[in-house]
Each structure stands twice: as structure tokens, then as C-alpha cells.
């Protein structure tokens, strides 16, 4: 019987001194104890462990039972008495075993778990692990850091629940586990706080550093990809609770404000391997970006925040974090970048952001990233939101800032739709400069003409793909039509009449040539398609189209003809606006000649 075997080993070991225990004794104790558990004698094993006479044996050998004990706990059902006995054994081992040996045994179990049992194992072992760590004297900070790092590394393999249903189900137990880990860390946070309060010159920063690392890891996972909106039917959102706890820890250890306003010391310098250093730097950037989102969008820890900073300074501080978030493609992360950017902009008055801010790299990079979201993101509501935020960003700059930003976006966007949108904004600014009494010099005279050099031209002359660039061309023609109507040649406030010969040479004439070439090409294509229609019908020939590497549904001849006719309609539209612009120019010039 397993219990008898265990008792025999116990009797033999009782007569030995602690220093005389051999490897064979450890193995025999482990095998006998494991057999007791597997055969259902957990109650008897508990009595053996609780026996005061076996205290020395359990202290030295008990940690060997952790692995079979965990297996048996998961094997028994929740209401089974045997499971309850196993849990009491685990509690006894935490109290009686050598802390160092048991610490390693518990960490080994956490490291070896995987899949659906990760959260179950972690939550099971957190309490005994905490008990053991509180007993440790040497290398306590290192051991706490190792424990937290091991736990977080195991959790990062699990998907973060995102939808309301996923959060409510918490299928793998991640939501519950994250908040249990925070409770596990609390005594060590309290120890750091106590030491800092009692010893102002407190210099042992190791434990504080380990807690800071834990918070930074938690910000990257799960908080960076978590969803924080209040959900109906969920009284306490688990990730909101977890985020609040992490912010509280950072505040308690006096790291919250330093992290928000200046990146923490570069831990990547500790790595000799450059690849590892780059990974560490990226992880730190992700964590800091998430922290800013939690503070400025979700308002966690905002009560601790000093209300002395200008909105423009807060925007400047957050631009690096916004840039980090906007470069990501996951909806949960990208949306955080847009929300953070929008939140910072809404704090500001229109026209209050000085043009000098564009000298900072982030103020140039972020709008370019925003353009990529507008044009490449597959999620419609994020594309629309990014367009609204771009307009908000434009509105906040002073006149020179708007002018500089327009030049930058026209040169870098490489997207006709975006360029058309910028040109429309330029038209609005010209209108303001002509209708309001102001000293606006940036959207009239030589500054405007310099800007129009980027607007009123075809990128590749007459060879330009007019269909692909139709948005930009239509916006440019509308701008030119507005200028010709609004600005009399005698006044020439905008300088457009002086620049007219150059505009005709670089824009209007090549556009005429391009339209004639494009229309001829598409009309010939239509003629060929119609001529081959009968053959296409008889053989059921279809045309395949590939977009971004993905094959689109096949196009019939009728569909191809529809596309070609649509292109011709676009050319006709451009041609009609072009004709109207040239007519207006001719009329204005004739009026001046007649007056003279």
C-alpha cells in the first residue's frame, strides 16, 4: 500500500541527520508521495506532512511533491474532497518547505504549463509562491522579478479577449489571472513604499526596478491590445480594473509622472546583442504609448496628474507615442493611436499650434502615418476617423503651419485622393485670406504661387495616368477656377495672373494632350471589346483581375465595358471643367483689354 511505503521511508529518514539525507532518499520520498496522491490517499499524505515529527523531512523533501500535486489537483473535480486535501497539502508545503527549493519547484511548474492550463496553474500557485517569496532573505528582489517575468511570459502566449462575449466568457481565465497577479505583487509594492517613506535615502532600488519591469510588461500585454470601453452587463470591466491597478503601482513607486514625460532609462543598453537591444527598445516604446493612452484617453491616474502643462506641450510629449501606435496594423492598437491623437488635439484651440512645432520629427511623421491609415487600412471606420483627425490636425496650426504642412503632404502622400483633399484645404485657406481682414501672407502673393507650383502640374506631364490622378486633377481645376473668378487681373492679390503663362505651359496644355491621348486609348479599347463581344459570349471568356496579390472575381466583357465607359465619363468631366476654366480666363483677359 502506498501509505505504508511512505511511512517506511519516513521512519528511515527520521533517524538521519538533515545533512545525511541522500539523493536516493529524495527519490524514494517523491515516488511514494506521488503514489499516495495517484491512488487517492491525499488525506493520509496530508496527515504525514502535518505531523510535527516529520517537519525536517518535509522541509527538505516536500518540494518534490509539487509536480504530482498540481497534476492531481487538476485531475479532481472542484467539489471533490480529495482535491481539497491536495490544496491543503500545497498550503502546508508553502509553510514548511525550504523557501529556496520550493521557489524553484513552483517556478518550474509555471514554466512547464501550456495551453488552456496556463492561467489555472498560475492562479493555483500564486499564493504559495507569494508565501515563499515573503520568506526569502537573500536575492528577494531578483526572485520576485524572476517570478513576475516567468508568469507574464507564460500569459503572453494567450489571446487577449476583445469582444464583450469573449470578456464575459474569459474562456482561458486571462482576465481573472491578470488581476490575481496584481494581488500577488501588492505585498512587494507595499514593501517598496514603506522603505521609501521611512528611508528618504532608500538606495536599494532592485525590488522597485523589478516591479517597474512588471508594469511595463503588463502595459504591452495584455493592456496594449485590450478593449476598455464600458460594456453593458459587465459590472467591473476586468481590463479596466487591471489597468487601474498597474497605474496605482506606478504611482506608488513614484514612477508614473517620470514615465509619462520622459522615456525611462534605456534598458536596451544592458544588452550586448544589438538585436535584443532593439527588441527591448520596441517593447518599451509600446508600453509607454499604452500608458499615455490610459492616462489621456481613459483618464486612469489623471487625478495624480499636474494640471500645469499647455495642450501644445502635451501634444508634443505624446507625438512619439502616437507614432508608435499608428505604425501598428491591429485594430485594437491602431484605434488607440487615433484616440490618443484626437484626445490631444481636442484640448487645443483652432489656429493655436505654432508652426515651429513642425520642426519636431513627430509632427511630420504622424500626419504621414495618418495618410497611410486613410489609404491602406482595410477597416472603414478607422479610415474615416483618420481623415477627420487629419483635418483636426490641420485646423490647429497657425497659418504658416498650415502652409508648411500642405507642402509636406503634397510631396509625401503619393495618393491622388489625399492630394485632392489637401488642395481643397488650400482653396479654403485662400478664401479666408481674400475675404477676411488679416495680414495673411502665406496664401497670397509669391508664397501662394510657390505652393501652386506643387498643385497646378501633372506629375508626369501629358503621360500622367489621368484616371488614377482624377481626384487631384479635379481639385486643382476647381482651385484654378476659383482663383480666376475671385481674383481680378487688375487686383492680382493672389498673384495668379502673373503666373498664368507658367500654369498654361505646365498644367493646362499637358492636360489637353493627356485627355486626347487617354480618350483615344479608351475609345479604341471599347471598340475592340464590342468587336470581340460575340466571341467572348461564345467561349464564355472572362478577365481576371489581381489587386494587392489577391485575385478578384472574374470580369465579364460587359463589366469591362462598363469600367471603360466610366473612365470616359471621368475624362469628359475633367474636360468640361478645363473648358470652363479656359473660358473664364479668356473672358477676364478680354474685359481687361476692353477696359484698356
What count of residues does the chain have? 596
Measured CA angle at 57 (ends 51, 62), to 5 deg: 90
* Number of neighbours of residue 220 by Cβ within 10 angstroms: 20
Handedness of CA 324, 328, 330, 334 (dihedral sign): positive
Beta bridge partners of 550: 547
The one-digit pLDDT tens for each residue of the chain (596 residues) are 677 777 777 776 666 666 656 666 677 777 778 888 888 888 888 888 888 888 888 788 888 889 999 999 998 887 788 889 999 999 999 999 999 999 999 999 999 999 899 999 999 999 999 999 999 888 899 999 999 999 999 999 999 998 889 999 999 999 999 999 999 999 999 999 998 888 766 555 899 999 999 999 999 999 999 999 887 777 789 999 999 999 999 999 999 988 987 654 444 445 556 666 667 778 899 999 999 999 999 999 988 888 888 999 999 999 999 999 999 999 999 999 999 999 999 999 999 999 999 999 999 999 999 999 999 999 999 999 999 999 999 999 999 999 999 999 999 999 999 999 999 999 999 999 988 777 788 999 999 999 999 999 998 888 989 999 999 999 999 999 999 999 888 788 899 999 999 999 999 999 999 999 988 888 887 778 777 765 655 555 556 555 445 555 667 777 777 787 788 898 999 999 999 999 999 888 887 677 66
Q: Distance between CA atoms of 279 and 53, rounded to whole angstroms?
A: 53
Give the H or E element holding residue 49: helix 42-50
If one counts the domains in the chain, the total is: 1
**Residue 552 backbone dihedrals phi, psi, to 5 degrees:** -90, 165
The position carrying cell 488552456 is 116
Rounded CA Rg of the chain? 35
Q: Distance between CA atoms of 177 and 156, rounded to whole angstroms?
A: 12
Does the residue 513 lie in any domain?
yes
Q: Distance between CA atoms of 560 and 544, rounded to whole angstroms?
A: 11
Does the residue 23 lie in any domain?
no
State residue 111's pLDDT score.
Answer: 95
* Number of neighbours of residue 169 by Cβ within 10 angstroms: 11
In sequence order, what DSSP letters do the residues of 214-232 get, joined into one string?
A: HHHHHIIIIITT---S--T
The position carrying cell 481643397 is 424
Residue 507 near residue 475 (C-beta atoms within 8 A): no
DSSP H stretches of helix in 357-486: 361-376, 380-396, 399-412, 416-435, 445-455, 470-486
Instruction: DSSP letter for 52, please.
Output: G
Beta bridge partners of 547: 550
DSSP H stretches of helix in 156-236: 164-169, 174-198, 206-218
The three-class DSSP label of residue 297 is coil
Instruction: DSSP letter for 353, please.
Output: B
Does the residue 40 lie in any domain?
no
Q: Distance between CA atoms of 243 and 247, rounded to whole angstroms?
A: 6
Residue 66 near residue 106 (C-beta atoms within 8 A): yes
Q: Distance between CA atoms of 66 and 103, rounded to whole angstroms?
A: 10
Measured CA angle at 330 (ends 326, 242), to 5 deg: 95
Residue 464 belongs to what domain range? 398-532+554-595
Does the residue 506 lie in any domain?
yes
The three-class DSSP label of residue 162 is coil
DSSP H stretches of helix in 97-139: 99-112, 118-135
Does the residue 463 lie in any domain?
yes
The three-class DSSP label of residue 13 is helix
Would you call the peptide bond into 222 cis, given omega within 30 degrees of 0 as the criterion? yes
* Number of neighbours of residue 254 by Cβ within 10 angstroms: 12
**183 CB-near residues (< 8 Å, 6+ apart):** 126
* Number of neighbours of residue 286 by Cβ within 10 angstroms: 22
State residue 273's pLDDT score.
Answer: 63
State residue 548's pLDDT score.
Answer: 42
Beta bridge partners of 545: 552
Does the residue 407 lie in any domain?
yes
Distances (CA, A) of 1 to 42, 50, 66: 13, 20, 21
State the first-to-last Cα distance of the chain, in angstroms, to the nearest integer.
123
Does the residue 370 lie in any domain?
no
- 336: number of CA atoms within 13 Å, CB side? 32
Residue 122, all three cell numbers: 498560475
Give the H or E element holding residue 286: helix 274-296
The position carrying cell 524572476 is 146
Residue 588 near residue 488 (C-beta atoms within 8 A): yes
Does the residue 510 lie in any domain?
yes
Amino acid at each position: 500500500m502506498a501509505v505504508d511505503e511512505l511511512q517506511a521511508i519516513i521512519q528511515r529518514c527520521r533517524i538521519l541527520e538533515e545533512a545525511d539525507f541522500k539523493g536516493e532518499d529524495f527519490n524514494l520520498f517523491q515516488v511514494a508521495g506521488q503514489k499516495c496522491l495517484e491512488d487517492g490517499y491525499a488525506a493520509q499524505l496530508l496527515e504525514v506532512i502535518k505531523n510535527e515529527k516529520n517537519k525536517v523531512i518535509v522541509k527538505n523533501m516536500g518540494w518534490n511533491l509539487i509536480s504530482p500535486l498540481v497534476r492531481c489537483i487538476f485531475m479532481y473535480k472542484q467539489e471533490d474532497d480529495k482535491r481539497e486535501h491536495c490544496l491543503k497539502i500545497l498550503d502546508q508545503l508553502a509553510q514548511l518547505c525550504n523557501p529556496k527549493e520550493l521557489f524553484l519547484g513552483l517556478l518550474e511548474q509555471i514554466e512547464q504549463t501550456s495551453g488552456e492550463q496556463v492561467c489555472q496553474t498560475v492562479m493555483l500557485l500564486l499564493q504559495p509562491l507569494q508565501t515563499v517569496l515573503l520568506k526569502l532573505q537573500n536575492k528577494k528582489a531578483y526572485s520576485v522579478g524572476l517570478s513576475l517575468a516567468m508568469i507574464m511570459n507564460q500569459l503572453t502566449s494567450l489571446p487577449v479577449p476583445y469582444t464583450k462575449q469573449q470578456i464575459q466568457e474569459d474562456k482561458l481565465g486571462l482576465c481573472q489571472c491578470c488581476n490575481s497577479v496584481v494581488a500577488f505583487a501588492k505585498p512587494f509594492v507595499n514593501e517598496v513604499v514603506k522603505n521609501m517613506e521611512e528611508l528618504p535615502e532608500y538606495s536599494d532600488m532592485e525590488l522597485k526596478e523589478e516591479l517597474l519591469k512588471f508594469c511595463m510588461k503588463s502595459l504591452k500585454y495584455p493592456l496594449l491590445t485590450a478593449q476598455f470601453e464600458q460594456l453593458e452587463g459587465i459590472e467591473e470591466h476586468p481590463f479596466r480594473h487591471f489597468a487601474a491597478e498597474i497605474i496605482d503601482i506606478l504611482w506608488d513607486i513614484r514612477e508614473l509622472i517620470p514615465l509619462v514625460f520622459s522615456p525611462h532609462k534605456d534598458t536596451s543598453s544592458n544588452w550586448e546583442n544589438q538585436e535584443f537591444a532593439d527588441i527591448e527598445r520596441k517593447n518599451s516604446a509600446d508600453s509607454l504609448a499604452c500608458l499615455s493612452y490610459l492616462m489621456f484617453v481613459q483618464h486612469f491616474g489623471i487625478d495624480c496628474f499636474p494640471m500645469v502643462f499647455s495642450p501644445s506641450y502635451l501634444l508634443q510629449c505624446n507625438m512619439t507615442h502616437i507614432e508608435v501606435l499608428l505604425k501598428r496594423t491591429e485594430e485594437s492598437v491602431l484605434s488607440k493611436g487615433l484616440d490618443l491623437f484626437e484626445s490631444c488635439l481636442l484640448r487645443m484651440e483652432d489656429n493655436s499650434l505654432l508652426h515651429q512645432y513642425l520642426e519636431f520629427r513627430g509632427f511630420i511623421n504622424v500626419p504621414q502615418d495618418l495618410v497611410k491609415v486613410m489609404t491602406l487600412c482595410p477597416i472603414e471606420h478607422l479610415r474615416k476617423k483618420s481623415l477627420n483627425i487629419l483635418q483636426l490636425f490641420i485646423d490647429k496650426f497657425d497659418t504658416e503651419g498650415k502652409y508648411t504642412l500642405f507642402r509636406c503632404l503634397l510631396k509625401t502622400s503619393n495618393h491622388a485622393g489625399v492630394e485632392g483633399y489637401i488642395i481643397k484645404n488650400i482653396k479654403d485657406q485662400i478664401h479666408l485670406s481674400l475675404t477676411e481682414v488679416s495680414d495673411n501672407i502665406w496664401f497670397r502673393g509669391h508664397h501662394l504661387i510657390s505652393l501652386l507650383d506643387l498643385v497646378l502640374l501633372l506629375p508626369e506631364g501629358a503621360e500622367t495616368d489621368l484616371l488614377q490622378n482624377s481626384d487631384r486633377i479635379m481639385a486643382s481645376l476647381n482651385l484654378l477656377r476659383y482663383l480666376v473668378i475671385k481674383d481680378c487681373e487688375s487686383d492680382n492679390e493672389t498673384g495668379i495672373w502673373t503666373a498664368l503663362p507658367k500654369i498654361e505651359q505646365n498644367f493646362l496644355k499637358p492636360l489637353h494632350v493627356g485627355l486626347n491621348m487617354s480618350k483615344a486609348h479608351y475609345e479604341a479599347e471599347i471598340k475592340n471589346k464590342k468587336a470581340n463581344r460575340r466571341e467572348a459570349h461564345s467561349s464564355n471568356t472572362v478577365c481576371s483581375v489581381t489587386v494587392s496579390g489577391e485575385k478578384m472575381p472574374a470580369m465579364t466583357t460587359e463589366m469591362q465595358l462598363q469600367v471603360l465607359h466610366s473612365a470616359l465619363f471621368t475624362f469628359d468631366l475633367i474636360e468640361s471643367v478645363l473648358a470652363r476654366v479656359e473660358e473664364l480666363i479668356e473672358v477676364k483677359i478680354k474685359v481687361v483689354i476692353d477696359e484698356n
